[in-house]
Chains A and B, each alone.
Chain A
Amino acid sequence: MKKKTGRISTGALSLISFCVIIAAWCILTYGGFLNEIFMPSPTAVWNSLLEMAGDGSLWEHCFLSTKRVMIGWFWSAVAALPIGMLMARSKCFSAVIQPIIEFARYLPVVALVPLTILYLGIDENQKYVIIFLGTFFQLVLMVCDTVSSIEKNMLNAASTLGANKLQLYTEVIFPAALPGLMDDFRMTIGWAWTYLVVAEMVAASAGLGYIILKSQRFLATDVIFAGLIMIGLIGLVTDFILRILTKIIVPWHERLGD
């Protein structure tokens, strides 16, 4: 949220908060307050990042993980969009679907991993399915909520202007819900990363989740931190891209705090 202080100073604030965390990290590790095995120093983490970047493995892991997140999340969004919209608009449809969704969304995804391995083996599809299961049910409910909160007046106006049922969806409901949907997408893509790590920790031979788990066995905390930092950075970049995209797709939208 940008206050009257303007762009530069809010950017500066963000930078300061980052610097404080790094400074604390430096003091705790270089000062010898923490055991190197539990908390590696910035230098150690930096070196392991450089090493993995040097042999190219870092980029492979990042690319593979990002690809899994994107594909799993993409299918979840594609499926959740129409179902969530219909749920918001049709009482009957909602009565049929809602209980299933509500039930399914309380199943911890981790508990479903054995089943997915049984059904699908440990290939890429299994990773996509885990991410799909982790995000789909939540996203359906979020889409439903977003669509339900569209102003009734707008729909009334459209139908008295002669819009038929299909046109109501394509010309009014979808565009009116779009700003909210972009937010929903941004949230769930974050969760997709969580489920990716779940998928990669259990059965994978590459990916950021995999190197984190593997490093635990060798007490290579510097590599664990390197992996965590990469996940955080990719998340940050994705979030940033989606925010920019939102500004481009729905320039008409007025947001509190803008």
Chain B
Amino acid sequence: MDKIKLKVTNLQKVFPANGRREKDLDALKDINLEVRESEFVVMVGPSGCGKSTLINIIGGLADATEGSVEIDGREVSGPGADRGMVFQGYSLFPWLTVQKNIEFGLKMKKVPKAERAKIAQEYIQLVGLSGFENALPKQLSGGMKQRVAIARTLANQPEILLMDEPFGALDAQTRVVMQELLAKISRETKNTILFITHDIDEAILLADRIYVMSRRPGTIREVMEVNIPGERNHEILVTPEFLAMKRKIMEMLWQESQDAALDK
């Protein structure tokens, strides 16, 4: 049994009533989840169910109302380099070159310059950006920007990688390329990853395990192991195992959205 890397226990999040909202808003309820070392966990759920809220709490960018987040058995609060995040908007630093962006976390840790450059070079190659070391973010396409963002987070060697719909803004072809790249990276680097998406294909393609969330207030509705043998690439999208799984998740999400409609 692998070590547990991330453990979320009885997490609740309430956005309190304010001038614009009359009632408290229950965003997350009774969230329990675990991510094991080197595991790739994907969360899917209907829009507005609290996925971003959850990952921001884990990343320390927001506070939980109740419950705890542990990394390697140690409770964490506030952001830290142990939990690297990749966002949908690439949020690169526009004044830094590709290489300097990737070195950013290392610079914060005061890693010497020569060593920084060496590590950055490794990750530049890993994400396939050789030759663009000195380019500025404004000179890159969306897919390339997201490669930089991923390399920047990986170079910092976090305990876990938190990704909130990182490919949501990319066109369909670039998306597939990036999914395959990420699958390859996670296989090679053995990183622990928690990944959020509402794209079911993407979820099954990437995940070792999938958590399906319910509509708001977000709870964990089901946990599924993905047992598709062989390399993860777009070819598995048409295998029977894949399609059976896709159907199951679609039905769950479909039901959630129907129930949501009935609630109103």
Give the residue of B60, B87, B95 whose beta carbon is less than 8 angstroms from that of A157. Answer: B87
Q: B104, A158: Cβ atoms under 8 Å?
A: yes
Q: Is the CB of B79 within 8 A of A252?
A: no
Contact at B81–A250, with CB atoms within 8 Å? no
Q: Are the CB atoms of A252 and B138 closer together than 8 Å?
A: yes
Beyond A160-B80, A160-B85, is A176–B95 a contact (Cβ under 8 Å)? Answer: yes
Q: Which one of B79, B89, B109 lies within 8 Å of A160 (CB-CB)? A: B79
- The 8 A CB mask of A139-159 against B (1 = contact, 0 = none) is 000000000000101101111
Residues of A within 8 A of B92 (CB): 157
Q: Indicate if A171 sits at the interface (CB-CB under 8 A).
A: yes
Judge whether B59 is part of the interface by a CB distance below 8 angstroms.
yes
Distance of A154 Cα from B80 Cα, bound (Å)? 15
Given contacts A161-B152, A162-B156, contact A156 B87 (CB under 8 A): yes
The interface bits of chain B over 71-95 (1 if a CB of A lies within 8 angstroms of the residue's CB, else 0) are 0000000011101110101011111
Quick one: which of B79, B80, B136, B153 has the most chain A CB within 10 A? B79
User: Cβ of A153 and Cβ of B89 under 8 Å apart?
Assistant: yes
**A161 and B104 form a contact (CB under 8 A):** yes
Cβ 8 A contact of B84, one of A153, A160, A176: A160
Known contacts: A154-B91, A156-B61, A252-B94. The answer to whether A161 contacts B138 by CB under 8 A is no
Give how many A residues have a beta carbon under 8 Å from the other chain's beta carbons: 22
Question: Is A156 within 8 A of B93, CB to CB?
Answer: no
Using a CB-CB cutoff of 8 Å, which residues 129-166 of chain B contact chain A?
Answer: 136-138, 149, 152-153, 156
In the complex with contacts A172-B93, A252-B95, A161-B61 CB distance below 8 A: no
Provide the residues of chain B in CB contact with A153, threshold 8 Å. 87, 89, 91
A4 to B95, CA, bound (A): 26
Whole-angstrom CA separation of A254 from B138 in the bound complex: 8
Cα of A214 to Cα of B136 in the assembled complex, Å: 54
CA distance A167 to B85 in the complex (A): 18
List B contacts of A252 (CB < 8 A): 94-95, 136-138
- Any A CB within 8 A of the CB of B108: yes
Q: Quick check: A164 and B108 within 8 Å, CB to CB?
A: yes
CB contact between A154 and one of B84, B93, B138, B152 (< 8 Å): that residue: B93
**Cβ of A39 under 8 Å from chain B:** no
**Partner among A154, A159, A178 whose Cβ is within 8 Å of the Cβ of B79:** A159
Determine if A151 and B138 form an interchain contact, defined as CB atoms under 8 angstroms apart. Answer: no
B105 CB–A CB distance under 8 Å: yes
B60 touches which of A160, A176, A253 (Cβ 8 Å):
A160
**B84 to chain A: which residues have CB within 8 Å?**
160-161
- Asked whether A162 and B109 contact (CB < 8 A) given A156-B79, A156-B85, A254-B138, the answer is yes
The answer to whether the Cβ of A163 comes within 8 Å of any Cβ in the partner chain is yes
The answer to whether the Cβ of A175 comes within 8 Å of any Cβ in the partner chain is yes
Contact A160 B94 (CB under 8 A): no
A157 touches B94 (CB 8 A): no
Contacts known (A156-B61, A160-B59); A253 close to B156, Cβ less than 8 A: no
A residues in contact with B60, CB < 8 Å? 159-160
Q: How far is the CB of B92 from chain A (nearest CB, A)?
A: 8
| A172-B101 Cα distance, complex, nearest whole Å | 11
> B residues bordering A, Cβ < 8 Å?
59-61, 79-81, 83-85, 87, 89, 91-95, 104-105, 107-109, 136-138, 149, 152-153, 156
Closest 10 CB pairs of A and B: A162-B81, A161-B105, A153-B91, A159-B79, A157-B91, A160-B85, A162-B108, A252-B95, A160-B79, A163-B108
